[in-house]
Chain A
């Protein structure tokens, strides 16, 4: 790279460095604190450990052990998985099918129906809580996994459908013509052509929806908050803050347990954001 170009990018790099610094420092503080004993946390700052980071003896895993067992975060972690994964999968699959139908199948009232679905994005979910909860209780879905799966799927569908629609409707028409001539039924075209091509969109919608559900407290609290066997991490951490607000070593450890999966999901799927799999199918 030539010097002028490098100089031109200099402000951008400084800006990025500042942002990274502002984000990393508190996170690092959180991470280090979560490995320290309660006594040390209250007597010295986390940064004092930095000059002798190599000294492993000053750190402990006890905090993680405590929150995972005694405070029930282990169970809550499992619950979070049981809630997030199915809810996300169901809503992404339903949204893809719906988007495909709205984009490529011919039926009466297609546009109106699609507009209706998209319009649902502006309905605040709060106004639906009481009627939905009442209905759920009556049919035995209150405080159950299927209940919250259904709730998350429903609240997520307008946006996920919209996102998938904008991608799927952009697939060249000729691919569908070609598939029809090749003998592919609409459903087989969906599974064999649309889904594989939509992997980048699916991945981004999946991440989006997964993180949303994983971080959600409100819906979880409303639908399963009263059932600890089913309640996810967010509810458990919120309870922890209420019950053990002074125990920083527990709160920081809990925070990290909550973060691990989203970070992992993001890094494992992020390449799909970048790669345009469509390149090469049609001359553009």
Chain B
């Protein structure tokens, strides 16, 4: 096992900068997730760690070793690909044993390691099957097995679950988590699925345009997104953004926009916020932080605003309500038993203790 450190990594394809001065480190045994929309540089970053892509600038360390010029096979890593990349002409056993055979591991040991991994993954009875005879989930398990038998210092995952159907994906996600608990191998995992990132990662790096936007544990990323991109990317439905102004009145501070004026609670009224008094900001509030006052024990008028229901999506355990407030759209996750119908006028209350404010220009978080 080992830590992985990326220092000021840059990757250029011609004039295009795919990865821009990225620094990250995964400590020994940590599960790190790179998440972001397609084209954000996450896969390129992973491929540079694997050695499948040259590094334009910067250094990558695995353990204490600088691996910039070390070929993939000597980096002591194993990688699982989105499309499994199983060797179609080999059976499951040989797919898993291939890397060990090339490394001249004794036959007995290969056999033992392959069987252990296969049992661990529940594919012990499939060892003589060819990949084409397996289901998607089984193939992905073989790909995992191929990584496990090598007993590498680092696991690299490139969107390993995105080819599976939704149900299987949830199950494999849990299995991956469990597997990591058991093996404790340092892992770098790439995905575009924020749920996967949140559930699997000890730490999550949110990337966009080749830059790391934020690198933190999942809860911090959710609670304190560094900028509007992170705030909008993590969480579903996405955070609401409304143009607003910070207003100071009688020692109290409000965030005011078209159709709403909400009290900024004391703990949120930091010096940074006060500096923005009279200036344009972007007000951010998550759908789950908007409530219906009638469902609250102590409704607070200063945090309420009116709206009109446009669409309502009942999901059973909650209902997603799209409301119009003075021409802007806002999404709220409300109690499913609240009687709401289309076109109805409604009063909503923002839990402003969990509100966010962003600088309009830089889109960086103010609070």
Contacts and interface: CB of A to CB of B under 8 A. Distances in A.
Interface stretch (B2-10, B69-77, B288-296): B69-77
Given A184-B102, A283-B163, A175 B85 contact: yes
Interface residues of B, number: 33
B339 interface: no
Contact of B85 (A172, A192, A199, A278): A172
Contact of A183 (B86, B99, B131, B139): B99
Nearest to B74: A183
Given A183-B102, A281-B132, A175 B87 contact: yes
Contact of A180 (B72, B83, B84, B163): B72
B43 to A, nearest CB: 11
A170 interface: no
Contacts of A196: 89
Contact of B99 (A182, A279, A282): A182
Contacts of A283: 83-84, 136, 139, 163
Interface residues of A, number: 24
A280 interface: yes
A178 B84 CA distance: 9
A85 to B, nearest CB: 25
A178 B72 CA distance: 9
Contacts of B50: 177, 181
A278 B150 CA distance: 25
Contact of B79 (A178, A184, A188): A178
Contacts of A199: 89
Contact of A174 (B73, B78, B83): B83
A277 interface: yes
A89 interface: no
Interface string A177-209: 111111110001000110011010000000000
A182 B130 CA distance: 19
Contact of A280 (B71, B82, B132): B132
Interface in A95-127: none
Nearest to B163: A283
A177 B83 contact: no
From A172, A184, A281, residue with most partner B Cβ within 10 Å:
A281
Given A188-B102, A280-B133, A283-B163, A180 B71 contact: yes
- Sort A-B residue pairs by CB-CB distance and give the 7 closest, nearest first: A280-B132, A281-B88, A174-B85, A182-B99, A183-B73, A282-B83, A196-B89
7 contacts: A177-B52, A178-B81, A181-B78, A182-B102, A183-B73, A183-B102, A282-B86
